[in-house]
């Protein structure tokens, strides 16, 4: 997938409007907004929720076509508002894994959408990238999102990844400093996604 500046599609304002204003993308990265003070966090959430409903499809599309900060922000916008019409685009971007950090947003959005289709996308991602031990992409966020969806949908897709001697354990153990922490790391990944999604469910 190519990277296209929003100006090329007549949406040159979207980065300043949705991404860089008050450095929004920095607060979205890793769910940093959860660590803001109460007043600041409330203001941030209200602004993001408003934009998630007001951003046009053309603006969202321009953000998804640009660099990682824009894609991360676009994913949170559609995830907060559960704009499921973007599921296919998000799935394609996640599986392509072109840009760092943006995948966090894709996994958040899929977890928010909350359907079997979203689970299928996450399973496809984990099938593709867990065996690639050298690729430290968004496996954590994807597993956490899949575990959350399993809990909500009454499914058990994550089990074949996290079972003893499974793909998740091999991926975690590929790094010396994380060896032996697969179970703890899986739980932490699920807790992170739960915190991100739970904030908007409250």
Asked whether the CA dihedral 129, 132, 137, 138 is positive or negative, the reply is positive
4 dihedral zone (left: phi>0; alpha: psi -120 to 50; beta): beta
Asked whether the CA dihedral 42, 48, 49, 50 is positive or negative, the reply is positive
What Å distances lie between residue 122 and 12, 23, 171, 189, 197, CA to CA? 32, 29, 16, 14, 16
Domain membership of residue 66 (yes or no) is yes
What is the pLDDT, as a whole number, of residue 202? Answer: 79
Q: How many domains does the chain have?
A: 1
Domain membership of residue 172 (yes or no) is yes
Q: Kindly state the greatest CA–CA separation across the chain.
A: 51
Residues of the chain with pLDDT under 50: none
What Å distances lie between residue 67 and 6, 70, 73, 91, 147, CA to CA? 10, 6, 10, 17, 28
Domain membership of residue 148 (yes or no) is yes
Kindly state the DSSP code that residue 21 receives in the 8-state scheme.
G
Is residue 102 within 8 Å of 63, Cβ to Cβ? no
d(CA 66, CA 71): 7
Q: Containing domain of residue 147, as a range?
A: 6-201
* Stated pTM of the model: 0.96
**What's phi and psi for 7, nearest 5 deg?**
-60, -30
Is residue 118 within 8 Å of 149, Cβ to Cβ? yes
Domain membership of residue 175 (yes or no) is yes
> CB neighbours (10 Å) of residue 129?
21
Domain membership of residue 184 (yes or no) is yes
SS3 25: helix
Domain membership of residue 1 (yes or no) is no
What is the pLDDT, as a whole number, of residue 141? Answer: 97
What is the pLDDT, as a whole number, of residue 22? Answer: 63
> CB neighbours (10 Å) of residue 2?
5
Both tokens of residue 29? 């990265």
């Amino acid at each position: 997938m190519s990277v296209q500046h929003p100006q090329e599609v007549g949406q040159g304002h979207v980065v300043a409007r949705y991404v860089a204003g008050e450095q929004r993308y920095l607060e979205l990265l890793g769910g940093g907004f959860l660590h803001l003070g109460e007043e600041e966090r409330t203001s941030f959430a209200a602004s993001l929720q408003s934009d998630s409903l007001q951003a046009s499809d053309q603006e969202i599309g321009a953000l998804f076509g640009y660099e990682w900060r824009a894609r991360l922000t676009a994913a949170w916008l559609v995830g907060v508002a559960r704009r499921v019409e973007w599921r296919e685009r998000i799935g394609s971007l996640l599986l392509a894994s072109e840009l760092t950090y943006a995948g966090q947003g894709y996994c958040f959005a899929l977890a928010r959408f909350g359907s079997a289709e979203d689970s299928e996308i996450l399973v496809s991602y984990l099938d593709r990238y867990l065996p690639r031990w050298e690729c430290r992409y968004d496996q954590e966020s994807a597993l956490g999102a899949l575990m959350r969806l399993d809990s909500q949908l009454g499914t058990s897709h994550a089990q074949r990844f996290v079972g003893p001697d499974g793909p998740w354990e091999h991926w975690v153990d590929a790094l010396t400093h994380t060896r032996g922490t697969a179970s703890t790391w899986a739980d932490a990944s699920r807790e992170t996604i739960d915190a991100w999604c739970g904030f908007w469910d409250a």
